[in-house]
Amino acid sequence: MNITAARSEILSLGRSRLGYPYVYGAKGPYAFDCEGLLYWIMHSLGDTTYPGGSSAQFYAGPRSVNLIPGMFVFFEGAPEQNGLLPGHCGIYTSPNEFIDAPYTGVDVRYDWFSTSTSEGPMKYWGATDPAQLLISAPPPGEPTLYLTIPYMTGSAVLHCQSRLIAWGYRWALGPSGADSVFGPMTESAVRGFQSQMRIAVDGVCGPITWIHLNQNPQESK
């Protein structure tokens, strides 16, 4: 499945649930809340690790500033200890339109939103491109990297380090910088990057971490 086909599948599944009832905490297939709809779509397409909860879903990423049908859109939620986090969410369909499961008494439907102004109670937060997660097996040359004894070495480690530098982690790699050796400092830099991306912090450069590393830092802000 390529990226275009994956987005099309996401959009098709979202449209297939139009008219189904909203039920708080429901994850389908015959009733949904907002994050439950996204959860059901991704699990239906084979991503059984996709989380529940709109905040976790947003930070599962990968995030995008360019909206394309089949992406997920998120809206500001309730105040949290560290600031506002995503609350409501849905599937982007076309400019200013998305599919969502809004609230009790309203079925899954098309709704309107704006990226620049609040629409009713909704303030746009951002978008992710979950289709990338569906095609996230590491490409050739990008195997899973982690701290071993002896240390992993080679071109994949060098690429990982180069991407960490692009994201501003040159300081964390120590005096050697990109040296093709996955040692403790590289593991520490990976952990720092994972924390920044709000993904699982385990020091392992696996499929999800590769997706985030390979994004353009400027487009992900």
pLDDT for the residue numbered 132: 85
Beta carbons of 213 and 163 less than 8 angstroms apart = yes
Q: Which residue range forms the structural domain that includes residue 174? A: 152-213
CA distance 197 to 49: 17
CATH code, 180:
1.10.101.10
Q: In this structure, are 15 and 60 located in the same domain?
A: yes
28 shares a domain with 113 = yes
pLDDT at residue number 1: 63
pLDDT, one tens digit per residue, over 34-52 is 999 999 999 888 787 888 9
On the question of pLDDT at 129 being above 70, the answer is yes
Residue 146 lies in a domain: no
The CATH number given to whatever domain includes residue 56 is 3.90.1720.10
153 has a pLDDT exceeding 60: yes
* Between 117 and 79, the higher pLDDT residue: 117
Which pLDDT band, with edges at 50, 70 and 90, does 220 fall under? low
Residue 141 lies in a domain: no
To 5 degrees, how large is the angle CA 50–CA 52–CA 54? 105
**Tens-digit pLDDT profile for residues 158-202:** 889 988 998 999 889 988 788 889 999 999 999 999 999 888 889
Domain count, the chain: 2
